[in-house]
C-alpha cells in the first residue's frame, strides 16, 4: 500500500513529493445546509468554435459566500491564457451585498501578471498572462459575480477541438450550463455523465450543444471518498472532433517527430555520451542518464508549445525543457545510435482510464518507449534510474505516437523490488540516555525518494535533518549523517545516522520500552500498517508492494534488567506476511522483524484494501508489544 512516511519525510527536507487524491462521490451522505461554505447560484461556460479549431471561451458565474471559512478564498477570481495565441478580458466583476447593493470592482482592484521575454525578445518557457480581480467589501452572505472571455486565435491542434469539464458533487450548485457552438459541418463526438443533455439545435449554419447540471444538495465528503477518479463517476462532459486516440497521437507526432531527427550536433553528442559502450542497453542507459542529469525540467506554456517540443538546439543551449523536450531529445540521441524509440502520451495524474470520447486534456505527459528492451523511460524524473518509472506512471494507458496501438499500458511499478533494511545498534546508559548507529539500505522507489531528499539537502542542513528524523519518532538528541552520493542514478541507496539520545528511557521501577526505529525512515514497517484503522475506501486506490526489515540490537547497562519481551510471532495472508524474532543474551536483546507487502499492482480495489487492513490489524498487535525493563 502507500506509505505516508514518504510524504512526511519530503516535507521535512523541503523536497517535492506530491500525492494527488481525487475525490469520488459514491455513497456519500448529503451535506447539512448549515455546513455548505459556498453556493454556486449559476455558472455558464460557452465554447464558440471556428472551422479551423480556433475558439472563444466565455465564462460567467455567481457565488454566494455562506461561511466565514470560505471568505478568504472567494475574495478573488482569476483566469489565464497564452498571450501569443489568445486575448482575454474581464467582462464583469462586482459584489452583490446581502442588502441588494451592487459594488463594482474598480479597475484598481485588477491585477495583470504577464510572462514575457526581455526587451521585446520572445519568452523562453512561458507567455502566460493571468488576470485576477479582488471583490470589494465582501462579507458572509454576499455574492460575487464574475465573467470573462478568452479569444484563442488557433486551436491546440489545427482544425481540431476538444474540451473536458468536470464538476464536484461536493459543491452546492443551483444551475450550471455548458454550451458548445460549432459549425454545422464539424463532426463532434461527446459524452456526459450526471448532466442533463438538451436537444441539439441548428441555427445559421451552427450546431448548438448544451448540457445542464444541478446539485442543490451537495454530498458530504469523508476520507472514505478518497480514491481514484474513474470516467463517469463525477459530473463531467467530454467533447471532441478527434475520431479516436490514434488521431490525437498522430496530430502530436506530425509536429514532434521532425524535431526528433538527429542533427550533426545530436549525432556528435550521442557518440560522445555512448563512448565505447556496446549493446543497446548500455548505450541507451548512458544517453538516458545524461538527459536526466543535465536537462532540468521547466514547463512550456507558450501557445502551441504546450503540444509541440522546442527545437533541440534551444533545449541543449539552455539545458532545460519540459516532458516533450526531454522525450524528443532522448529519442533523437537514441536514433543517432541506431536505437529504435517511440514517444508515448499518458496521464501523469490519478487517471487510470480514458473516456471513450478522445480529448487532448486527459493526456498531459510524454515519455519514451524502447521496443527492443520493452522499457518505458521518463527522463524528467531526475532521480529515477534507467528502466524504472515513477510510481504515478505505473499501469497507465499510453498512446504510442509512431506505432500507435490500442489498449497499451505501462507496467506496474511494484515489480522494482522496493525494499528497506534497517540495522540499528543501541547502547543504553544507566541514566536512560543512549548512543548508537542506524544503517539504512534502500532499493527501488524508496531509494529514489531518499535520493531526492538528499539532493535537496545542503551540507549545513544535515544536522537539522537528523534532529528532525529523531523528533519524528519522539526522540530528542543529536547525530551525524553519512550518505551515498545522491546524484547517482541507481536503484539502491545507503545512509547511516550516528546518534546520541537524551531520553530513550524514563527511569522507573519498571519501564515499558516500545520497539521502533530511532530515526524516521521512508519504508518503516509501521508505515505499511498505518492505515489499519482508517475508513476503508469505497473506490479503488493507489498502492504498491515492498519489503521492510528492521533489525535491533539493544545493549542495557548492568543496572537494568530485561524483565520481559515479546514472543516470536508469525503471520501470513494473501496480501501481507510478517515475521518477528526476539532473542535475549544476558543484557543484550536482538530483534528482527520482516514485513512483506505482496501487492503486485498500482491499483487496489476496495475489497483488496479491506483484506489488507484486516491483516495489518493482526500485525499491529506485535508491533505495539514492549520490552519490560526494571531498574
How far is 589 from 592, CA to CA, in rounded Å? 10
Environment class of 153 (CB within 10 Å of its CB; exposed 0-12, middle 13-18, buried 19+): middle
Domain boundary among 411, 439, 462: 411
251-297 pLDDT, tens digit each = 999 999 999 999 999 999 999 999 999 999 999 999 999 999 999 99
> Quick one: pLDDT band at residue 511, thresholds 50, 70, 90?
confident
CATH of the domain at 233: 2.60.40.3140
Task: Report residue 30's pLDDT band, with 50, 70 and 90 as the boundaries.
Answer: confident
CA-closest candidate to residue 456, choices 389, 383, 523: 383
CATH number assigned to the domain comprising residue 436: 2.60.120.1130
- Give the DSSP H or E segment for 42: strand 38-49
The pLDDT, as a whole number, for residue 23 is: 30
Residues 97, 205, single domain; the answer is yes
Mean pLDDT over residues 390-397, rounded? Answer: 95
- CA 273 to each of CA 277, 333, 486, 563: distance values in angstroms, whole numbers, following the listed order: 9, 9, 21, 62
Average pLDDT over residues 461-481: 91
Q: Are 389 and 427 part of one and the same domain?
A: no
Query: Do 422 and 463 fall within a single domain?
Result: yes
Torsion of CA 472, 475, 479, 481, to 10 degrees: -30
| Element at 415 (helix H, strand E) | none
Distance CA 517, CA 589 (A): 15
Residue 21 counted as domain residue: no
The CATH number linked to 388 is: 3.10.620.30
Do residues 176 and 70 both lie within one domain?
A: yes
**Average pLDDT value for residue range 320-343:** 97
Q: Quick one: pLDDT at residue 2? A: 52
Share of the chain above pLDDT 70, in %: 93
User: Looking at the structure, do residues 328 and 406 belong to the same domain, yes or no?
Assistant: yes
Pairing of strands 419-428, 546-555: parallel
120-134, 140-154, 179-193, 351-365: range with lowest mean pLDDT: 120-134
Kindly report, residue by residue over 165-207, the tens digit of the pLDDT: 999 999 999 999 999 999 999 999 999 999 999 999 999 999 9
**pLDDT above 80 (res 570):** yes
Domain boundary among 392, 411, 430: 411
Task: List the domain range (segments joined by +) for residue 461.
Answer: 5-16+416-630
Q: Are residues 483 and 552 in the same domain?
A: yes
Which residue, 182, 213, 242, sits at the end of a domain? 242
pLDDT at 123 over 90: no
* Residues 434 and 293 occupy one common structural domain: no
Please tell me whether residues 463 and 608 are part of one structural domain: yes
358 in a domain, yes or no? yes
Domain count, the chain: 3
Question: For residue 562, how many other CB atoms are within 10 A of its CB?
Answer: 17
Q: Which residues contact 467 (CB under 8 A, 6 or more apart)?
A: 477, 478, 479
- Spatial separation of the C-alpha atoms in residues 522 and 391, rounded to whole Å: 15
DSSP H helices, 436-512, are 445-455, 462-471
Question: pLDDT tens digits for 412-452?
Answer: 999 899 999 999 999 999 999 999 999 999 999 999 999 99
What is the reported pLDDT for 298?
84
Spatial distance between the Cα atoms of 368 and 373, rounded to a whole number of angstroms: 12
In this structure, are residues 156 and 302 in contact, taking their beta carbons and an 8 Å threshold? no
The pLDDT, as a whole number, for residue 28 is 57
Alpha carbons 474 and 120: distance in angstroms, whole number: 56
What are the beta bridge partners of residue 182?
Answer: 207
Pair 399, 427 in one domain: no
**Residue 545: Cβ within 10 Å count:** 23
Clarify whether residues 532 and 606 are in a common domain: yes
User: Residue 231: pLDDT above 70?
Assistant: yes
301 vs 391, more confident: 391
Mean pLDDT computed over 43-70: 97
Residue 508, pLDDT score? 73
Measure the CA–CA gap between 4 and 536, rounded to whole angstroms.
16
Looking at the structure, do residues 356 and 378 belong to the same domain, yes or no?
yes
The pLDDT score that the predictor gives to residue 506 is 79
Average pLDDT, the chain: 91
pLDDT greater than 80 at residue 27: no
Model confidence band, residue 118 (pLDDT cutoffs 50, 70, 90): low
182 with 57, same domain: the answer is: yes
d(CA 133, CA 61): 14
Amino acid at each position: 500500500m502507500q506509505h505516508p512516511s514518504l510524504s512526511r519525510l519530503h516535507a521535512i527536507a523541503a523536497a517535492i513529493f506530491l500525492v494527488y487524491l481525487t475525490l469520488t462521490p459514491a455513497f456519500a451522505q448529503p451535506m447539512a445546509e448549515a455546513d455548505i461554505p459556498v453556493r454556486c447560484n449559476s455558472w455558464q461556460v460557452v465554447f464558440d468554435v471556428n472551422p479551423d479549431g480556433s475558439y472563444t471561451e466565455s465564462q460567467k458565474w455567481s457565488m454566494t459566500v455562506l461561511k466565514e471559512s470560505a471568505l478568504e478564498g472567494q475574495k478573488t477570481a482569476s483566469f489565464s491564457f497564452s498571450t501569443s495565441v489568445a486575448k482575454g478580458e474581464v467582462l464583469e466583476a462586482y459584489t452583490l451585498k446581502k442588502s441588494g447593493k451592487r459594488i463594482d470592482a474598480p479597475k484598481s482592484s485588477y491585477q495583470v501578471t504577464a510572462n514575457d521575454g526581455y526587451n521585446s525578445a520572445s519568452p523562453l518557457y512561458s507567455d502566460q498572462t493571468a488576470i485576477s480581480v479582488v471583490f470589494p467589501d465582501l462579507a458572509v452572505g454576499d455574492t460575487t459575480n464574475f465573467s470573462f472571455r478568452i479569444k484563442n486565435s488557433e486551436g491546440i491542434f489545427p482544425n481540431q477541438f476538444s474540451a473536458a469539464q468536470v464538476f464536484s458533487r461536493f459543491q452546492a450548485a443551483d444551475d450550471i450550463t455548458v454550451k458548445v457552438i460549432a459549425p454545422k459541418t464539424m463532426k463532434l463526438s461527446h459524452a456526459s455523465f450526471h448532466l442533463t443533455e438538451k436537444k441539439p439545435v441548428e441555427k445559421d449554419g451552427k450546431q448548438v450543444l448544451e448540457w445542464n447540471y444541478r446539485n442543490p444538495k451537495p454530498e458530504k465528503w469523508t476520507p472514505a471518498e478518497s480514491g481514484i477518479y474513474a470516467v463517469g463517476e463525477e459530473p463531467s462532459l467530454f467533447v471532441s472532433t478527434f475520431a479516436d486516440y490514434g488521431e490525437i497521437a498522430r496530430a502530436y507526432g506530425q509536429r514532434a517527430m521532425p524535431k526528433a531527427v538527429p542533427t550533426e550536433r545530436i549525432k556528435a553528442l550521442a557518440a560522445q555520451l555512448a563512448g565505447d559502450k556496446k549493446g543497446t542497453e548500455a548505450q541507451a542507459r548512458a544517453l538516458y542518464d545524461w538527459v536526466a542529469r543535465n536537462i532540468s525540467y521547466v514547463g512550456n506554456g507558450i501557445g502551441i508549445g504546450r503540444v509541440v517540443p522546442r527545437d533541440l538546439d534551444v533545449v541543449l543551449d539552455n539545458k532545460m525543457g519540459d516532458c516533450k523536450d526531454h522525450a524528443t531529445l532522448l529519442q533523437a540521441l537514441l536514433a543517432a545510435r541506431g536505437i529504435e524509440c517511440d514517444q508515448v502520451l499518458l496521464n501523469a495524474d490519478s487517471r487510470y482510464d480514458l473516456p471513450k470520447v478522445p480529448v487532448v486534456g486527459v493526456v498531459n505527459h510524454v515519455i519514451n518507449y524502447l521496443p527492443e528492451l520493452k522499457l518505458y523511460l521518463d527522463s524528467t524524473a531526475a532521480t529515477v534510474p534507467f528502466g524504472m518509472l515513477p510510481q504515478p506512471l505505473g499501469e497507465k494507458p499510453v498512446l504510442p505516437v509512431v506505432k500507435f496501438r490500442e489498449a497499451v499500458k505501462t507496467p506496474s511499478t511494484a515489480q522494482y523490488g522496493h525494499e528497506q533494511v534497517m540495522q540499528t545498534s543501541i547502547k543504553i546508559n544507566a541514566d536512560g540516555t543512549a548512543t548508537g548507529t542506524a544503517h539504512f539500505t534502500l532499493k527501488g522507489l524508496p531509494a529514489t525518494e531518499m535520493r531526492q531528499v538528499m539532493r535537496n539537502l545542503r551540507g549545513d542542513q544535515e544536522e537539522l535533518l537528523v534532529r528532525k528524523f529523531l523528533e519524528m519518532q519522539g526522540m530528542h538528541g543529536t547525530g551525524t549523517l553519512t550518505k551515498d552520493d545522491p546524484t547517482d542514478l541507481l536503484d539502491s541507496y545507503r545512509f547511516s545516522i550516528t546518534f546520541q539520545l537524551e531520553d530513550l528511557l524514563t527511569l522507573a521501577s519498571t519501564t515499558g520500552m516500545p520497539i521502533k526505529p530511532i530515526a524516521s525512515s521512508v519504508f518503516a514497517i509501521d508505515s505499511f500498517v498505518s492505515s489499519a484503522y482508517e475508513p476503508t475506501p469505497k473506490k479503488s486506490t493507489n498502492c504498491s508492494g515492498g519489503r521492510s526489515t528492521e533489525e535491533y540490537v539493544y545493549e542495557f547497562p548492568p543496572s537494568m534488567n530485561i524483565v520481559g519481551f515479546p514472543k516470536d510471532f508469525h503471520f501470513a495472508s494473501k496480501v501481507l506476511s510478517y515475521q518477528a524474532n526476539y532473542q535475549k543474551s544476558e543484557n543484550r536483546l536482538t530483534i528482527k522483524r520482516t514485513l512483506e507487502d505482496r501487492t503486485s499492482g498500482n491499483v487496489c480495489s476496495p475489497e483488496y484494501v479491506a483484506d489488507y487492513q484486516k491483516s495489518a490489524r493482526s500485525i499491529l498487535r506485535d508491533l505495539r508489544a514492549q520490552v519490560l525493563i526494571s531498574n
